[in-house]
């Protein structure tokens, strides 16, 4: 039996510039952080005594005799790619809802690839794991996705991830003292809007609008360097400035496509700002899912109470995707 544990992630800055349709012609970069909420893949060989060869449990249950019958696209294509011959018993557990902007799809892909390699007695290096996850989602499954989630969930921690032509990436850790890490964790709040959204439609709209929104993408890209400098500075007010910079970026991101936000989310966000939040954004592509707000700790309790949304704890994960059990 193999169990993989892969963190979800949130993107602070640069989201959108990790789309290959952008960075293959322009430079892309993001500041992304993995969080202490996880996707678990439990994987083992299925004995031949069963009438089917593949037993797969996620929000659906599948029992299939052949790989081509498998409905879950990632599971089906990973088995094909790695040429897995033996029967497979696979169960997925997730700490947070899917389609909520925290990189759950890529966490699943990364964790599945790592578990499949481990089941065959192989160890895959982080860079290769992220590359294969990107290739699987963009080239094999033809999904409208960027390249940051696969890297962020593979490596873990707080990173500046740079993208160049042909999906060449560089993952640069942003080093934090324990004191600064705690300050960030005390200011960042995650709220669940209760709205699951289809990121494919949103990303497709963004891609179609790239040529018309070049200045927006360039400004979003430039925000990454500004945020990195704040995180690396000794400025006592770095999180206040960090939040205000994020607020500016959010206004830009809302203009990338019509469905990035909606009236209800704008109403909630604007109310949070009036109550004392200094910035924020929807996680992931937008449209719903988790709303991230940067809130001064002294105002946190009041804002959480008045917004009336479910909040979850934000803590930084430093492990990245890993095999936590093997027998």
CA-CA distance, 28 to 20, in Å (whole number)? 9
Task: State mean pLDDT over 190-212.
Answer: 81
pLDDT cut 90: percent of the chain above it: 86
Which residues contact residue 128 at a Cβ distance below 8 angstroms, ignoring those fewer than 6 apart? Answer: none
Higher pLDDT, 113 or 197: 113
245 by DSSP, 3-state: which? helix
CB 300 within 8 A of CB 189: yes
CA pseudo-torsion sign 211, 213, 215, 219 = negative
Reading the block at residue 188, the tokens are: 């960042």
pLDDT class for 80, splitting at 50, 70, 90? very high
pLDDT class for 113, splitting at 50, 70, 90? very high
CA-CA distance, 130 to 143, in Å (whole number)? 16
Which residues contact residue 158 at a Cβ distance below 8 angstroms, ignoring those fewer than 6 apart? Answer: 31, 32, 33, 173, 174, 176, 184, 231, 316
CA distances (Å), origin 58, targets 72, 98, 132, 198: 9, 11, 22, 18
Give the mean pLDDT of the chain. Answer: 94
pLDDT class for 181, splitting at 50, 70, 90? very high
Report whether pLDDT(201) > 80: no
Write phi, then psi, for 31 (nearest 5 degrees).
-115, 115
Report whether pLDDT(167) > 80: no
At 236-261, the pLDDT tens digits run: 999 999 999 999 999 999 998 788 88
Report whether pLDDT(5) > 90: yes
Report whether pLDDT(262) > 80: yes
Buried b (16+ CB within 10 A) or exposed e, 105-125: bbbbbbbbbbbbbbbeeeebe
Using the structure block, give the residue that is written with the tokens 């996707």: 39
The domains located in the chain, with CATH, are: 2-175+317-326 (3.30.230.10), 178-312 (3.30.70.890)
Report whether pLDDT(197) > 70: no
């Amino acid at each position: 039996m193999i169990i993989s544990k892969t963190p979800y992630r949130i993107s602070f800055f640069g989201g959108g510039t990790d789309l290959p349709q952008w960075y293959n012609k322009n430079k892309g970069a993001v500041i992304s952080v993995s969080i202490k909420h996880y996707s678990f893949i439990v994987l083992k060989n299925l004995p031949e005594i069963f009438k089917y060869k593949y037993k797969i449990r996620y929000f659906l249950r599948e029992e299939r005799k052949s790989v081509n019958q498998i409905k879950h696209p990632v599971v089906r294509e990973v088995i094909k790619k790695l040429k897995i011959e033996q029967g497979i018993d696979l169960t997925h557990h997730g700490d947070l809802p899917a389609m909520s902007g925290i990189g759950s799809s890529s966490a699943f892909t990364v964790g599945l690839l790592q578990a499949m390699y481990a089941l065959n007695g192989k160890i895959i290096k982080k860079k290769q794991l992220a590359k294969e996850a990107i290739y699987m989602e963009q080239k094999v499954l033809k999904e409208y996705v960027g390249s940051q989630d696969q890297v962020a969930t593979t490596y873990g921690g707080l990173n500046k991830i740079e993208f160049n032509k042909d999906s060449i990436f560089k993952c640069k850790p942003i080093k934090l003292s324990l004191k600064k890490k705690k300050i960030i964790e005390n200011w960042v709040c995650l709220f669940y809007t209760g709205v699951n959204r289809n990121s494919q439609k949103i990303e497709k709209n963004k891609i179609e609008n790239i040529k018309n929104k070049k200045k927006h993408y360039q400004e979003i890209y430039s925000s990454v360097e500004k945020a990195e400098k704040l995180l690396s500075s000794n400025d006592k007010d770095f999180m206040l400035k960090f939040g205000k910079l994020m607020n500016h970026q959010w206004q830009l991101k809302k203009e990338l496509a019509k469905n990035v936000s909606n009236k209800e989310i704008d109403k909630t966000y604007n109310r949070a700002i009036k109550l004392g939040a200094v910035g924020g954004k929807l996680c992931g592509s937008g449209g719903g899912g988790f709303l991230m707000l940067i809130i001064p700790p002294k105002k946190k309790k009041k804002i959480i109470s008045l917004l009336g949304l479910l909040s979850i704890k934000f803590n930084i994960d430093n492990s990245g995707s890993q095999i936590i059990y093997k027998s």
